[in-house]
Structure 1
Amino acid sequence: MPLGLVALAMGAFGIGLTEFVIMGLLPEVARDFAVSEAAAGWLISGYALGVVVGALGLTAATTRLPRKPVLLGLIVLFIAGNVLTALAPDYGIAMTGRILAALSHGAFFGIGSVVAASLVAPEKRAGAIAIMFTGLTAANVLGVPFGTFLGQQFGWRSTFWVIAGIGVVAFAGIAALVPAPAEAQERISLRRELRAFSSAQVWLSLAVTVLAFGGMFGAFTYIAYTLTEVSGFASSAVPWLLVLFGAGLVGGNWLGGRLADRRLDATLIAFITALVVVLVAFALFAGSQPATIAGLVLMGAFGFGTVPGLQSRIMHYADGAPTLASGANIGAFNVGNALGAWAGGFGISMGLGYTAPVWIGAAISAAGLVVMVVAALAAHRARGRVVRATRPVTPATTSTVPVPVI
């Protein structure tokens, strides 16, 4: 395994920690700034918006620059955002720091996916992307519980100082371990990058990302309410149950990357189908604690198991201009997060109960499955046309016996 992938995973770990750890620290943040918890929650929404803007804007702005220096610059931006958050004297400055850090998120994962894929043979691209995203899953399993504990014991600002330190380590790792291209990087044209969006398969891939991942995140956003109000777990058990969810993320990310390198579309269809089934079963049996524990692990596994394949797929169909499309797909993950969270919250507000987000998530992911099947069938037909068009013509013969067409 190229050591550069480890350095990219470290950067992904820090960025993932920045995104998710705030969820466990909202009460402390709200008290410190004397704002409501709803207002503190905007620190999550503001971050998500920053991810989408950065995924498109910063990726587009840096397409002509060498990728390794761009990654290092994004890590510097990430460090600055977290330092600003840790030092923030008021809510407005904290929001600015969150958005600043978020701008690096989408561009880092978009450009980092291209760099990770370039470090290995073409048939191992999805696996390399999965290794980089292991940092994001590890942030959920290890980083978020530890970061929440640290913030509760020593103040929420201490967590963001530690995250900034992780950024420094990631910067050093990328600088030392990610190789510069052996030959001059091909000059990237923004016009050509934008031309990738003329591909119907790129748009279908983006739609699958929004819907399939959005369905899972919609269920996950309100999972604490499901666990305590429906499954009957104590509030103190929720962090440890989320560790099980994170373990599912790690396993699914690894398996999804391995299988996607073999059969990309078949793997995505299988994982999204399994995710829909798991969400439906979760909603039906949420009153059973053993079933809920199994559902948490499987939801994480099949939900995040789609990530390497979805990222690899859009890079494949944007072949020759993958950078901006890759960043756009990171933005699509966050659009899906917002869609799922909104739809799940709407279900609860309509009085449908705390399993409503899980049912709604299943429906959204099922829509993603339909789009994925349509995309796979269209790709299969396109490959068939290419094969027929390139089939060699039977040479002429002087024989009077007709030559059959095979």
Structure 2
Amino acid sequence: MRSSVLVPAVLMASVFVVGTSEYLIAGLLPQMAADLEVSVSTAGQAVTAYALGVVIGGPLVTIATVRLPRKGLALGLLVLFAAGNAVCAVAGSYEVLIAGRVVASLSHAAFLTVALMMVTRVVAPDRAGSAIAAVAAGFSAATLLGVPLGVLLGEGAGWRTPFAVLAALALAVAGALAAALPRQDAPATSVREEIATVLGRRVLVVIATTAVGLAATSTVFTYLAPALTGITGLGPGAVSTLLLVYGAGSLAGGLVAGRLADRSLAGTVRGTFIGLAVVLAAFPFAVPWAGTAVVVVLALGVLTSATTPALQSLLLRHAGQAPMLATSVNVCAFNIGIAAGSALGGGLVAADGLRWLGLAAAGLSLVALAISYAAIPRRPAPASV
């Protein structure tokens, strides 16, 4: 009982640290670029380098470590993450900074994969969705608190300081994990079995649903601030407050969805994407007025984060006894979806379609819903007699 409460809490704290690192650098680009004597656009490639490390390195690291004991692997990945951020903190050149970001990124998808696997092992099967949601809440908390606090610290104490703090926090949570995690033996599965699981039809369908679903939300979220300033007419302070509202909704939505997924996984997946389609379609008509904009942004935050525990629980249902690589690829699908949605939104904004992003995003949400039906049959097949 103690481990079923303590382990999810410590893993959530660990994911909070890792999640903060991913988006922190975007708020520190101007002073980082000035210090390292590169342009802001060049410094921004540190974001791209991290994303590529997650998408490409995550599955490769997972394959390379698939037979290692889970506890030792989790601790090793946190130490690797700490080392990467320490390199960033002392980087004397742009090239060294990129190297540090890549090193840190290699642990990102693999650690989240291990965290999701371990937390489902210490709770009852009927609480898997809630446990996954608790761990995933670490990312919502990173967006809501970690990134703003890190940027604030960087503005006051220099851009290197947040990276040093993240390195120290990673070592601290590694120590907490060492004390809290029960020993978990290495999985008996082989690399061949893991690859065969990823190539299974229903697993591929879940991964595709993840990518398309996140593309839907990212299409709007990436350009949410410009829409709120340019269409709603809010000032920078009001936009920041509204983004905090989004983050709070995201934190709550993920936790609630985890409980709902434990009760009805199919209903949670379908209800989430239907709700997203409605909210996204309403966005163009709600954003011109501040009151309705607040409502639609809060609803978007709640529903966006609800996709994580629902889709991850669905993936684990179909991954069987070889879920490690499938989970890692699904984590990458989240990042691919975010990148694709951002690119689509950028093209629409360039065509003067800022206000109407929600309609395109709603269409993507309906596509994700349609794809998900291949992973969740509408009705169970009748029992044979």
Shorter-chain TM-score bucket reads over 0.9
Asked whether the 8 Å contact 1:227–1:238 carries over to 2, the reply is yes
| Alpha-carbon offset, residue 40 of structure 1 | 2.5
Counterpart residue number, 1:376 = 376
Range with bigger deviation, 185-194 or 121-130: 185-194
**Aligned partner of residue 375 in structure 1, secondary structure:** coil
> Do structure 1's residue 248 and structure 2's residue 249 form an aligned pair?
yes
Amino acid at match of 1:284: F
Deviations 1:232-269 (A, max 9, x none): 11123333222111101111110110000111111011
Cα separation, partners in 2 of 1:76 and 1:345, compared to 1, 3 Å: same
CA pair 78-318 structure 1, distance change in 2 beyond 3 A: same
CA distance in 1, matches of 2:68, 2:115: 14
- Cα distance in 2, alignment partners of residues 26 and 238 from structure 1: 20
Deviation at 1:221, TM superposition (A): 1.4
- Contact preservation (8 Å) 1:19, 1:47: yes
Q: Which amino acid aligns with 1:231?
A: T
User: What letter is aligned with 2:53?
Assistant: G
Residue identity matched to 2:239 = V
Instruction: Show the 5 A alignment for 1:169-180.
Output: 169-180=172-183
Query: 2:361 matched to 1:364?
Result: no
Deviation at 1:296, TM superposition (A): 1.5
Give the SS at the match of 1:261. Answer: helix
Distance 2:290 2:240 in 1: 15
Determine the C-alpha separation between the residues in 1 that align with 2:316 and 2:189: 15
Within the alignment, does 1:107 sit opposite 2:110 as a pair? yes
Query: Which of the residues 48, 51, 54 maps onto 1:51?
Result: 54
Q: Which consecutive unaligned segments of at least 5 residues does structure 1 have? A: 392-406
Verify: 1:12 aligned to 2:15, yes or no: yes
Residue 325 of structure 2 is matched in structure 1 by: 324
CA contact (8 A) 1:196 1:321 kept: yes
1:311 aligned onto 2:308: no
Helix, strand or coil at the partner of 1:2: helix
Contact 1:110–1:329, Cα closer than 8 Å, also in 2: no
Question: How many residue pairs were aligned?
Answer: 382
User: Quick one: distance in 1 between partners of 2:75 and 2:226?
Assistant: 39
**In the aligned structure 2, how far is the partner of 1:218 from the partner of 1:163?**
29
CA contact (8 A) 1:343 1:357 kept: no
The offset of 1:32, in angstroms, is: 2.3
Deviations 1:3-33 (A, max 9, x none): 1111111110001100122222222222222
Aligned match for 1:156, one of 156, 159, 171: 159
Aligned match of 2:193: 192
Shift of 1:287: 1.1
**Partners in 1 of 2:234 and 2:252 — Cα distance?**
24
Post-superposition Cα deviations, 1:49-98, rounded to whole Å, max 9, x if no partner, equal 11112321111111111111111111011101111111111222112211
Residue number in structure 2 paired with 1:290: 291
2:89 pairs with 86, 109, 114, which one?
86
What displacement does 1:358 show? 3.4
**Alignment match, 1:203:** 204
Give the equivalent residue in structure 2 for 1:404: none
Larger mean CA deviation between 298-307 and 48-57 belongs to 48-57
Q: Which amino acid aligns with 1:191?
A: R
Partner of 1:400: none
Alpha-carbon distance change, 291 to 342 in structure 1, aligned in 2, over 3 angstroms: same
Given that 1:52 and 1:334 are in contact with CA atoms closer than 8 Å, whether structure 2 keeps it comes out as yes
TM-score, length of structure 2 as denominator length: 0.95
Q: Which moved more, 1:19-28 or 1:239-248?
A: 19-28
Distance 1:224 1:186, change over 3 A: closer
User: In structure 2, what is the Cα distance between the partners aligned to 1:219 and 1:15?
Assistant: 24
Q: CA deviation at 1:186?
A: 4.2
* Cα deviations by residue, 1:266-306 (Å, 9 ceiling, x for unpaired): 10110111111111212222111121122221111101111
2:355 alignment counterpart: 355
Query: 1:185: how far off?
Result: 4.2
Q: Could you say what the CA RMSD is over the residues aligned between the two structures, in angstroms?
A: 1.6
Where 2:288 maps in the other structure, the secondary structure is coil
Aligned 1:32-71 pairs, distance under 5 A: 32-71=35-74
TM-score (norm 1): 0.90
CA distance 1:161–1:237, shift in 2 (3 Å): farther
Q: Quick check: which has more Rg, 1 or 2?
A: 1
User: Matched residues in 2 for 1:217 and 1:170: separation?
Assistant: 30
- 35-44 or 339-348, larger mean C-alpha shift: 35-44
C-alpha deviation, 1:357, in angstroms = 3.8
2: CA distance, partners of 1:101 / 1:118: 26
Q: Which residue of 2 aligns with 1:273?
A: 274
2:251–2:302: 8 Å Cα contact kept in structure 1?
A: yes
| Alignment partners' CA distance in 1, 2:37 and 2:186 | 50
Which of 120, 123, 139 is equivalent to 1:120? 123
Residues 88 and 100, structure 2, Cα contact 8 Å, conserved in 1: yes
Report what 2:76 is aligned to: 73
Q: Tell me which residue corresponds to 1:335.
A: 336
What is the CA–CA distance in structure 2 between the aligned matches of 1:35 and 1:279, rounded to whole Å?
Answer: 38
Q: Secondary structure at the match of 1:321?
A: coil
The aligned amino acid for 2:116 is: S
